[in-house]
Structure 1
Amino acid sequence: MTETTNPRLCPECERPVFGRADKKFCSDACRNAYNNRSNSDAVNLVRNINNTLRKNRRILLDLNPDGKTKLPKSKLLQKGFDFEYHTSIYTTKSGQQYRYCYDQGYLLLDDDFVLLIVKKDFN
């Protein structure tokens, strides 16, 4: 079977593909379009999570100008903070869990208060 009698077809545009035997797409544009479309769900998920993490960090940064602040949890919620997303958790020996959005952290306290902190040794 030769390429001239039964050419391979581009999975994006269905035009004949010529060239190397392992070539799958007729052009870089078709390859990019195909891969962008097939990866779009994963890319959108990651983009949305990253946007939420950046928003959370901005909120913590805005509400904690001095590096250590105690405030009501409702203040964070009013600004749109999403407690589901953080980049890491640090558990102290006493069992307290500090959650971080990159270098900006918080500790959930009793009575719906939150302690905001900055991780100093973050590089």
Structure 2
Amino acid sequence: MERLCLDCGTPIKGRADKKFCDDSCRNNYNNRLKTEDHLVLRRINSILKKNRTILAQFNPNGKAKISRKKLISAGFNFDYHTYSYETQNGNCYIFCYEYGYLLLNNEKVLLVKREESLWLA
């Protein structure tokens, strides 16, 4: 059975466990794998940054109410957030870094900003 280089597809000579014909092909292959991973991370981080910017824009004073439709029309993506926090009375705040929101029952959203002293704890 002839072994082929994972990068360029040329036949490989040498050790039985060898996967690449030379160091250049090994580097190309591994760099391509890392690039694909970085594209996914870059896309998700971009969405998170955009969500944070939108929350900050609509919440300049630390607490505000806004309609869900207004957030969506600004480009907010409810599927991406950094963490959630459940209060003792059962409310679940969703955060995108230090800015968060609580979905209210009448298509309204309560926007909040976590205080820095709590953030560092």
Alignment correspondent of 1:122: 119
Alignment correspondent of 1:89: 84
Match of 2:75 among 55, 80, 83: 80
Alignment correspondent of 1:38: 33
Alignment correspondent of 1:58: 53
Question: In structure 1, how many angstroms separate the alpha carbons of the residues matched to 2:104 and 2:6?
Answer: 55
Query: For the structure 1 residues 119 and 32, does the alpha-carbon distance in structure 2 shift closer, same or farther, using more than 3 Å as the test?
Result: farther
Match of 2:43 among 35, 44, 48: 48
Alignment correspondent of 2:98: 103
TM-score (norm 2): 0.76
Tell which structure's C-alpha radius of gyration is larger: 1
TM-score (norm 1): 0.75
How far is 1:38 from its partner?
A: 2.6
Match of 1:71 among 53, 66, 74: 66
Checking the alignment, whether the CA contact within 8 Å between 2:98 and 2:114 is kept in structure 1 is yes
Q: Deviations over 1:28-87 (max 9, x none)?
A: x54432113234443322221111111100100111111111111111101100001111
Alpha-carbon RMSD across the aligned residues, in angstroms, is: 2.7
- Runs of 4 or more off by more than 6 Å in structure 1? none
Q: Which runs of 5+ in 2 are unaligned?
A: none
Q: 1:116 aligns to what SS in structure 2? A: strand
Q: Deviations over 1:7-48 (max 9, x none)?
A: xx864345989xxxx986634x54432113234443322221
Of all paired residues, the percent bearing the same amino acid is 45
